[in-house]
A and B are shown apart, each in its own frame.
Chain A
Amino acid sequence: MTAQPLFKIPQPTTDMRGVAAIVGLGETDFHADYQAARAKAEDYEAPTTEGLATLAFERALADSGLKRSDIDGVSVNYLYGGPTAAETAQMLGLTPRHVIDKGGICAGPIPVASAAIAEGECDTIALIFSVATRSIGRKFGGQLYGDGAPSSYYYHHPWGWSSQAAHWALIWQHYRLTYGASEADLGAVAVQLRQNALNNTNAVMQTPLSIEKYLASRYVVNPLHLFDLCLVNDGAVCLILRRSDMAKDLPHVPVLVGGWGEARVTANKLHMLVRERLRPQFQAAGAQALAMAGVTLADVQHFEGYDASTIHLINHIEGHGFVAPGEGLEFCKSGGMARDGKLPVNMAGGILSGSYMHGWNHVAEVTRQLRHEAGARQVQDVQVSMFSLAQTDMVHPIVFTRGGQ
Chain B
Amino acid sequence: MVQKRPDRTLGGPHDVFWDYCAKGQLHIQQCQSCAGFSYPPMKSCEHCGGANMTWQPMSGYGHVVSHCRFEHDYYRGIFAIPHDTIMVELAEGPIMMSNPSGFCNDDLTPNMPVKVAFTACEDSAGVFQLPVFERV
Contacts and interface: CB of A to CB of B under 8 A. Distances in A.
Interface residues of A, number: 40
A162 B128 CA distance: 20
Interface in A211-260: 218-224
Contact of A159 (B14, B76, B98): B98
A170 B87 contact: yes
A68 interface: no
Interface stretch (A38-46, A122-130, A267-275): A267-275
Contacts of B71: 218-222
Contacts of B6: 142-143, 157-158, 160, 162
Interface stretch (A25-33, A88-96, A147-155, A368-376): A147-155
A173 B65 CA distance: 9
A397 B87 CA distance: 29
A121 to B, nearest CB: 33
Nearest to A275: B65
Nearest to B49: A266
B76 A154 contact: no
Contact of B74 (A141, A158, A218, A223): A141
Interface residues of B, number: 41
A300 interface: no
Interface in B53-100: 65-72, 74-76, 78-79, 82-83, 85, 87, 89, 95, 97-99
A157 B132 CA distance: 13
Contacts of A158: 5-8, 121, 123, 128, 130
A215 to B, nearest CB: 15
B127 interface: no
Contacts of A170: 66-68, 87
Interface of B: 5-9, 14, 36, 38, 40-42, 46-47, 65-72, 74-76, 78-79, 82-83, 85, 87, 89, 95, 97-99, 110, 121, 123, 128, 130, 132
15 contacts: A1-B46, A150-B41, A157-B6, A157-B7, A158-B7, A158-B123, A159-B98, A160-B6, A170-B68, A177-B66, A219-B69, A220-B72, A221-B69, A268-B46, A274-B66
